[in-house]
Amino acid sequence: MMKLKVTLISLGVCAMIFSCATNPFTGKKTMAFVSNAQLFPTAFAQYDQFLTDNNVVTGTKDAEMITRVGQRIAVAAERWLTANGNAGYLNDYKWEYNLVDDETVNAWCMPGGKIVFYTGILPIAANETGVAAIMGGHEVAHALANHGQQRMSAGYVQQGLAVAGNVAIQDEQSRNAFNQYYGVGSNVLGMLPFSRSHETEADKIGLYLMAVAGYNPDEAAELWKRMKANSGGDAPAEFMSTHPSNDTRINNLTQWAPDAKKEAAKFGVTSFRAI
């Protein structure tokens, strides 16, 4: 049994070592147990099904704005990646931007660049720069940083450790206690901080991209002030949430905005579009 445990652990360590990718925006090694070649086709199919099942808005000024902002952010991302030695990184991305008639205050981006904006978030976005702060300033950044791939990989690790614990613990009472505490502990101490780190990473990447695309990064903090007002203060404690608090985001975005402007200046962007 001890030999089996050692073998399982060794295999797990090897899998983690050889199943890593490098995030071009941060230079960090990230888990990649599922390749984009596997992930993207599934995401694209799910996206197409979602569009079939929902009311997609087309031909309106708002729908055209969503596409226009998305395209500018995608171009900014390609310029940034090429300038930093990652030309071709986006070759497998199939960008698509759709506005969906839904009162939900949300927007999201699937792996590979498939984006949905709900009409319910437009009043809080308030203007095109607000849309850019949400779209590039956040949703596109998740896709570019392969956060979907990383979350899936982290889920495999979480499940794998649970299985290893149940194999290693022979006593039934101890095993039941392990399962009870591991479930809560792995979420509060593992998955939730992991998710919050992704949100923070996407906020920063996106802030730079919106600036390179010609949108004023100062407006990102203003957007999150509106988000905070819309929430009415109804939010879980940060340590129990998948997202940083609104105040944390506002402070971070305010702090990062000057650096985002400096980054944009490297690409010749020294003034920004009107709101």
Point out which residues pair with 97 in neighbouring strands.
Answer: 115
139 is catalytic: yes
In the set 96, 139, 219, 222, the catalytic residue is 139
Which two tokens mark 93? 């991305």
**Who's near 17: CB < 8 A, 6+ residues apart?**
none
In Å, how far are 13, 90, 137, 220 from 157, measured between CA atoms? Answer: 11, 27, 29, 34
Residues of 150-171 as b/e, b for ≥16 C-beta within 10 angstroms? bbbbbeebbebeeeeeeeeeee
Residues of 102-139 as b/e, b for ≥16 C-beta within 10 angstroms? beebebebbbbbbbbbbbebbebbebbbbbbbbbbbbb
- ∠ CA(78), CA(113), CA(37), 5° rounding? 95
Which residues carry out catalysis?
Answer: 139
